Structures are given as C-alpha cells and as structure tokens.
Structure 1
Amino acid sequence: MSRRTLFIAGLLVTLVLAGVVSFYASSAPDGLNKVAEDKGFAEHAADSPVAGSPLADYGVKGVQNERLSGGLAGIIGVAIVLALGTGVAYVVRRRNRANA
C-alpha cells in the first residue's frame, strides 16, 4: 500500500469518525463538570473567553440541526488540525534541509 493510499484512507476514517460517530458520544458531563456539580461549586463557573466562537460547545454556530452541527464541527476541527500539522511539518522539513 502506498503512502498516498494510506493517507487518504486514514483521512477518510478520521472524517467519518469526526462527522458521524461523534454524534453518538455521551452527553453526560465530563469528570470536571460532574465533580463541580457534586461539590456544589458549578454555579461559580465563568464562561470561557471563546464561548461565543463559531465552534463553541462542539457545534457550528447558526446550524440548527444538532446532528449536522456537531458533525460539521468535528470535520472543521479535523481540517484545522490537519492544516496546522501540515504547516509545522513543512516548516520543520524545510529547516532540516537548509541545515543539511
């Protein structure tokens, strides 16, 4: 199997997981939120500085369908991480070639 085929297959699996399977994730609060609720200090929590961002709360702002919103947020997140990772790899690769 070539590197390109492996990359495309991995990307497709990642997109399916982010776009489809993510909808079936638990809606129960995570550990920190659960402890805050149990210990009674959850009401003192402040909103995150990015609470109004387009991808806040694992959804896409303006998309009313919850399933579609969560799936799009997952796919956008994958695209952002892939772009950042590719950019870092490109810079490191160029630097290594320049030093060689």
Structure 2
Amino acid sequence: MTGKSPRRRYFWVGFVAVTLLIAGGLSYFASSSPDGLDSATLRGCQVVETGHGRELRGDCIAQHGGTHAMAGSPLADYTVGGRGGTGGVAGVVGVMVTVALAGGAFWLIARSRKKPRPTVGD
C-alpha cells in the first residue's frame, strides 16, 4: 500500500480543526486578571496610575522586575501588535508556529532513526 491512508488524513484534518478552534475560539474567554504568579509577585505592593504610567508602591518582588526582551514582539501580551481583541489571532499564530516547530523536530528525529546504523565488525 503506497501513500498515506485516508484515516490518517482525516485524523490530521480533525486535529488541525480542533486545535485552531481551541486556540482561536477559547482565547477570547481567557481571563485578563493576573494569574497566580503575577498575584504572588505583587503581594505587598499597590499599583498606582501616575502621569508616567503604572507605578508600584510598597515592598514586593515585582519591583525588581524589568521589561522583558520580547515585550516589543508582534505577539507580546497575547495580542497582535498590542491591539486589543486580537487574542484569538495571536493564539492561532502561536499554535501554528508551535505545531510547525514540533512537527519539524519530530520529522528530523524520525528521519535520523531511519538511517542504517553501522554494526560492530563492519
């Protein structure tokens, strides 16, 4: 039997559809509230809006943090270009990149295992 079976093709089409549905659709229901790590690092501080932006007052771990090196990247803060309402698009792009990189890595690993290995005594 040559080629890929229709069953495998259906699996991959279904996998992609469900993945994109989850990444694109459920992203809009994600909470904008701080997660557990954010809450823990802000414990002991108060966030105050000033003329220069947000300022932390008090004593907390978050005061020692800085801006991440990727803060200006196109998908920073789970948005596209910093625009609100684009979380679903950012989720789809993120999933596609992750699946492509993981798929490429697995393909390379599988390909390298198909090469015949030299045996002792050759």
Matching residue of 1:31 = 36
Structure 1: gaps spanning 5 or more residues: none
Match of 2:92 among 69, 75, 90: 75
CA deviation digits over 1:8-35, x for unaligned, max 9? 1111111011111111111110111101
Matching residue of 1:60 = 80
Provide the C-alpha distance between the structure 1 equivalents of 2:44 and 2:116, rounded to a whole number of angstroms: 55
* Percent sequence identity over aligned pairs: 38
Provide the C-alpha distance between the structure 1 equivalents of 2:116 and 2:81, rounded to a whole number of angstroms: 45
Deviation at 1:95, TM superposition (A): 0.5
Between Structure 1 and Structure 2, the one with more strand by share is: 2
Match of 1:4 among 2, 9, 20: 9
1:3 counterpart letter in structure 2: R
CA RMSD of aligned residues (A): 1.7
Scaled by the length of structure 1, the TM-score of the pair is 0.86
Match of 1:91 among 104, 108, 112: 108
Between Structure 1 and Structure 2, the one with more helix by share is: 1
SS in structure 2 at match of 1:99: coil
When Rg is computed on C-alpha atoms for both structures, the one with the higher figure is: 2
Structure 2: gaps spanning 5 or more residues: 1-5, 46-59, 118-122
Scaled by the length of structure 2, the TM-score of the pair is 0.72
